[in-house]
Amino acid sequence: MSANLVPFEIDLTAEEVRRRAEVMAALGPDWDPAEVLRGEQEAYALLYSGLDAEQQRTYDDLVAAGVLPGREQPDAG
Protein backbone atom coordinates (compact mmCIF):
# COMPACT_ATOMS: atom_id res chain seq x y z
CA MET A 1 0.00 0.00 0.00
CA SER A 2 2.87 2.42 0.65
CA ALA A 3 3.88 2.12 -3.02
CA ASN A 4 0.74 4.09 -3.90
CA LEU A 5 1.58 7.00 -1.61
CA VAL A 6 2.78 10.20 -3.21
CA PRO A 7 4.85 12.59 -1.09
CA PHE A 8 3.15 15.92 -0.50
CA GLU A 9 5.17 18.87 0.68
CA ILE A 10 4.23 22.51 0.98
CA ASP A 11 6.44 25.43 1.97
CA LEU A 12 4.51 27.90 4.11
CA THR A 13 7.39 30.38 4.44
CA ALA A 14 5.81 33.02 2.20
CA GLU A 15 2.45 32.65 3.96
CA GLU A 16 4.11 33.03 7.37
CA VAL A 17 5.90 36.20 6.24
CA ARG A 18 2.58 37.60 4.98
CA ARG A 19 0.81 36.65 8.22
CA ARG A 20 3.47 38.36 10.34
CA ALA A 21 3.32 41.49 8.19
CA GLU A 22 -0.47 41.59 8.66
CA VAL A 23 -0.10 41.24 12.43
CA MET A 24 2.39 44.10 12.57
CA ALA A 25 0.14 46.25 10.38
CA ALA A 26 -2.83 45.51 12.65
CA LEU A 27 -0.82 46.52 15.73
CA GLY A 28 -0.15 49.88 14.16
CA PRO A 29 2.73 52.31 14.45
CA ASP A 30 1.96 53.27 18.05
CA TRP A 31 2.41 49.75 19.42
CA ASP A 32 5.08 49.76 22.14
CA PRO A 33 6.10 46.22 23.15
CA ALA A 34 7.97 47.47 26.24
CA GLU A 35 4.85 49.28 27.46
CA VAL A 36 2.73 46.20 26.78
CA LEU A 37 5.14 44.07 28.83
CA ARG A 38 5.06 46.58 31.71
CA GLY A 39 1.26 46.51 31.64
CA GLU A 40 1.23 42.72 31.71
CA GLN A 41 3.64 42.68 34.66
CA GLU A 42 1.49 45.20 36.54
CA ALA A 43 -1.64 43.15 35.85
CA TYR A 44 0.11 39.96 37.01
CA ALA A 45 1.27 41.67 40.22
CA LEU A 46 -2.25 42.94 40.86
CA LEU A 47 -3.78 39.54 40.17
CA TYR A 48 -1.69 37.88 42.87
CA SER A 49 -1.71 40.72 45.41
CA GLY A 50 -3.74 40.61 48.59
CA LEU A 51 -3.83 36.82 48.88
CA ASP A 52 -4.88 35.37 52.20
CA ALA A 53 -2.58 32.85 53.90
CA GLU A 54 -4.12 29.76 52.26
CA GLN A 55 -4.14 31.37 48.83
CA GLN A 56 -0.52 32.43 49.30
CA ARG A 57 0.48 28.87 50.22
CA THR A 58 -1.28 27.55 47.11
CA TYR A 59 0.39 30.22 44.98
CA ASP A 60 3.80 29.36 46.46
CA ASP A 61 3.21 25.64 45.79
CA LEU A 62 2.29 26.39 42.15
CA VAL A 63 5.40 28.55 41.71
CA ALA A 64 7.58 25.85 43.28
CA ALA A 65 6.05 23.26 40.93
CA GLY A 66 6.77 25.48 37.92
CA VAL A 67 3.09 25.93 37.09
CA LEU A 68 3.23 29.69 37.65
CA PRO A 69 6.18 32.01 37.24
CA GLY A 70 7.44 33.64 40.42
CA ARG A 71 6.95 37.32 41.09
CA GLU A 72 9.90 39.65 40.93
CA GLN A 73 10.51 41.18 44.32
CA PRO A 74 10.78 44.99 44.30
CA ASP A 75 14.18 46.40 45.22
CA ALA A 76 14.42 47.28 48.89
CA GLY A 77 16.10 50.55 48.34
Name the pTM for this structure: 0.52
Check residue 4 and report its DSSP letter: G
3-state SS class at 35: helix
* 72 and 44 Cβ atoms separated by less than 8 Å: no
pLDDT in tens, 23-77: 999 999 999 999 999 999 999 889 999 999 999 999 999 999 999 988 765 444 3
pLDDT in tens, 1-38: 567 889 888 889 999 999 999 999 999 999 999 999 99
